[in-house]
Structure 1
Amino acid sequence: MTVIKMALIGLGKMGLHMVHLIENTKMDTKIEIVAVCDANEEGLASFAASHRGVRTYTDYKQLMNEHQIDLLYIAVPPKFHYPVVMEALERKIHVFCEKPLANSVEEAKKMLDAAEQAGVVHAIHFSMPHEPSVLKLQEMIEQGTVGAIRKIDLILQFPQWPRSWQQNAWITSREQGGFILEVGIHWIHMIQKVFGAIRVVSTQVQYPENGDCELEVQAAMELEDGTRIQLNGISQFAGEERVSMVVYGTKGTIALENWEELKTGLVGQPLTPVEVLESASELPVLKHVIARIQGNPAKIYDFNDGYQAQLILEALRNTEQSR
């Protein structure tokens, strides 16, 4: 396959970012965007004005009816993932989906089963394990840099939610928005890949009375060996955003601060920055998806990864355990 014919469903921030990525990244294989779909006709018109060779649609089924597609990228709000993905899988189209995989554990399981039955490439846009800072962190953990792991803290703090660049109708909804789903999933998946399976022991979530997404979450989790993971999340406060993970070991500490600032130190010593080589980056994830479609070695995270992360997300948001 010398040319990958690709379509995109959803032209929000992530959809437009993917278009930019395709147009500005050197790929071993040519990717041709043949069609895009979005419910916002004004946005479609703006896109069409600068991409005259690309067909635009407001109906994803019509798009699939009228085009032979190798790969479908899905970047619509979470509750719309299921119908779009299932339609693509029924047509045996390779799927690259934004996270979270679905809007419920039940949907995620059905999508996983359908993807495996379809026999196509099914990938989730999980990028953290490909980041050079995470690759370095994993190397340090495997080398025993800080000894045996005693405890992991996950901190999600947002003075404003949604953040200034996330203004849309669904990101504040309790159904499919909130920082647990939108941000927490990246870290949950990364922890699962670096440290292994997670179990939620207990969780407390505070929701506002107006029905919007969570304001706070306090949760206790653990790895298979019993290592504790403490999640502390809060939004709507005075201060600075912090999205970080701190790993406490018997010999020292490793901190991944604000997504990519890696620091470490021995017991009793201050944390100091760790040199991270940008050349070690495995991004963009799209390159791996294309390689897998062509039968070449690749590192992708599939619908099973999405399902496993969804199990933890829904356990964290379980209002029966929340107060």
Structure 2
Amino acid sequence: MTMIKMAVIGLGKMGLHMIHQATEAELSKIVEIIAVCDASEENLASFASSHPETKTYTDFKRLLDTHAVDLLYIAVPPKYHYAVVMEALKREIHVFCEKPLANSVEEARAMLEAAEKAGVVHAIHFSMPHEPSVVKLQELIRQETIGKIRKIDLILQFPQWPRAWQQNAWITSREQGGFILEVGIHWIHMIQKVFGAIRVINSQVQFPESKDECEHEVQAAMELEDGTRIQLNGIAHFAGEERVSMVVYGTEGTIALENWDQLWSGRIGEPLVPVEVNESLSQLPVLKHVIDRIQGQPSKIYDFNDGYHAQLVLEALRNPDQF
């Protein structure tokens, strides 16, 4: 079996996580991490101390000039996605990019068009539809367990933003950070895969006085193609507990996906009770699907087309006057 030569751009939390996945037992037999790149010499030195066999770079173009890369994983901040992805596509390298796909709708469209022209595998790291709780949710919706869908509520509540484990220089910036982009995109994409395309009707975003800081609140009305209403309520910086959830109201009952992976359901007039979710339903890791697609095997990936359509919703939420 031919080994897939993979390079990683960005050694933050996600970059290191993906490297860990690639070096685990199953994937390590078919994937070789040949080089990594990061703007921080400190990050590179730390990585090199435990991975001396892997070449390190501060310039991603130099990395690509030096190595024959089959797959490039991009885990840099969103405003750098475009430059790295477009360089890889120019060289006809398969690309696996973190979300959100880009830093604007225009960039996302250009990246999609370039990926289709290059004829390579282009994937975005949307993991939520692969989670066992979402696989089970989709099954319940398909079986009309709660009847016809009446309304969907999406709740994004963060006592502090960024969260304690999420400290970096860009995630609080208005340009490329905020909970709409960083967290909302997972749920927007998942809703579009389970229920269908979303249209933003109106959005009200509250920003702090600092022009550089990301949103503190958002309230938005959206709808599916069949007219089903979606209400988004998001807030950061308050006393209380984090809640990242979706509640689906049907004609015969309710389903709630609470805090990412806790699935609840109940009939009208009855309390919600936990839904048993078999972990065997898990379709993770996403990297395995990307590798399978490159090798021409059955797989389930979300590509730049998915990223582009999620970006359309995100930018309509963040910049309602422009859409």
Under TM normalisation by the shorter chain, which class is it? Answer: over 0.9
Question: Aligned letter for 1:291?
Answer: D
Aligned to 1:181: 181
Aligned partner of residue 321 in structure 2, secondary structure: coil
Q: Is the 8 A contact 2:9 2:36 kept in 1?
A: yes
Q: Counterparts of 1:121-136 in structure 2 under 5 Å?
A: 121-136=121-136
Aligned to 1:229: 230
In the TM superposition, structure 1's runs of 4+ consecutive aligned residues that sit over 3 Å from their partners are none
Q: Counterparts of 1:12-27 in structure 2 under 5 Å?
A: 12-27=12-27
Aligned to 1:301: 302
The CA distance in 2 between the partners of 1:280 and 1:222, in whole Å, is 29
Question: Aligned letter for 1:115?
Answer: A
Q: CA RMSD in A?
A: 1.1
Question: Aligned letter for 2:43?
Answer: G
Q: Counterparts of 1:103-252 in structure 2 under 5 Å?
A: 103-211=103-211, 212-252=213-253
Report % sequence identity: 77
Aligned partner of residue 27 in structure 2, secondary structure: coil
Aligned to 2:81: 81
Aligned partner of residue 301 in structure 1, secondary structure: coil
Q: Is the 8 A contact 1:159 1:236 kept in 2?
A: yes
Q: Which ranges of structure 1 fall in alignment gaps of 5 or more residues?
A: none
Q: Is the 8 A contact 1:6 1:70 kept in 2?
A: yes
The CA distance in 2 between the partners of 1:169 and 1:107, in whole Å, is 22
Aligned to 1:35: 35
Aligned partner of residue 26 in structure 1, secondary structure: helix
Q: Which ranges of structure 2 fall in alignment gaps of 5 or more residues?
A: none
Question: Aligned letter for 2:201?
Answer: V
Aligned to 2:272: 271
**TM, length-normalised to structure 1:** 0.98
Greater shift, 210-219 or 26-35, is seen at: 26-35
Q: Counterparts of 1:246-265 in structure 2 under 5 Å?
A: 246-265=247-266
Greater shift, 311-320 or 10-19, is seen at: 311-320
The CA distance in 2 between the partners of 1:130 and 1:111, in whole Å, is 24
Aligned residues: 322
The CA distance in 2 between the partners of 1:175 and 1:47, in whole Å, is 29
The CA distance in 2 between the partners of 1:319 and 1:138, in whole Å, is 30
Cα deviation for residue 320 of structure 1 reads: 2.4
Question: Aligned letter for 2:223?
Answer: E
Q: Is the 8 A contact 1:2 1:29 kept in 2?
A: no
**TM, length-normalised to structure 2:** 0.98
Q: Is the 8 A contact 2:199 2:223 kept in 1?
A: yes
Aligned partner of residue 262 in structure 1, secondary structure: strand
Cα deviation for residue 2 of structure 1 reads: 1.7
